[in-house]
């Protein structure tokens, strides 16, 4: 088993050594790019023309911009969550608050006053009005006896 594993590792190393990264040719064919040559195709140089120092600076700029973008996203998410909490509080407060009457319909408070009755009429009213009110349902009717019984 060890022999097979070591043979596999050696074979992979040999394949990696003989395989070299060759640049593929790129051709511009009108408005598109292709790896296969086409009629009227123009070969395009796609090699990175930057120096090592320029690549290092570019990579540093990318890292800095990525971290700035991440910080901006966190800030935006925090502000959105805060806004949602404020909207929920406002909605809850609006539900608790009684609705105000419409401005086109003014509220008028009216106090009803009964006309003053003469002393004699006033006394008789007090006597006829019961102190408490009790409601009664309809009295069920007794069933009538049939005049003739079914045979």
Q: What is the pLDDT of residues 79-104, one digit of tens each?
A: 999 999 999 999 999 888 866 555 56
Q: What is the pLDDT of residue 82?
A: 97
pLDDT of residue 59: 95
Residues (pLDDT < 70) of the chain are: 1, 15-23, 98-131, 133-135, 145-151
**Sequence ranges of the domains in the chain:** 26-96
Residues forming a β-bridge with 27: 34, 43
Cα 37 to the center of its chain, rounded Å: 51
Tell me what pLDDT residue 76 has. Answer: 97
pLDDT of residue 151: 52
pLDDT of residue 12: 80
**What is the per-residue pLDDT for 108?**
59
């Amino acid at each position: 088993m060890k022999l097979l594993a070591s043979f596999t590792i050696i074979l992979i190393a040999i394949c990696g050594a003989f395989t070299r990264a060759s640049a593929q040719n790129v051709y511009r064919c009108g408005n598109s790019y292709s790896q296969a040559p086409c009629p009227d195709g123009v070969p395009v140089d796609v090699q990175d023309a930057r120096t090592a120092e320029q690549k290092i600076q570019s990579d540093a700029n990318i890292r800095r911009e990525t971290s700035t973008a991440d910080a901006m996203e966190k800030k935006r998410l925090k502000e959105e969550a805060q806004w949602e909490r404020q909207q929920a509080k406002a909605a809850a407060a609006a539900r608790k608050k009684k609705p105000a009457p419409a401005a086109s319909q003014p509220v008028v408070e009216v106090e009803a006053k009964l006309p003053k009755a003469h002393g004699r009429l006033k006394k008789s009213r007090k006597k006829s009005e019961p102190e408490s009110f009790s409601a009664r349902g309809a009295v069920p009717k007794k069933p009538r006896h049939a005049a003739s019984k079914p045979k």
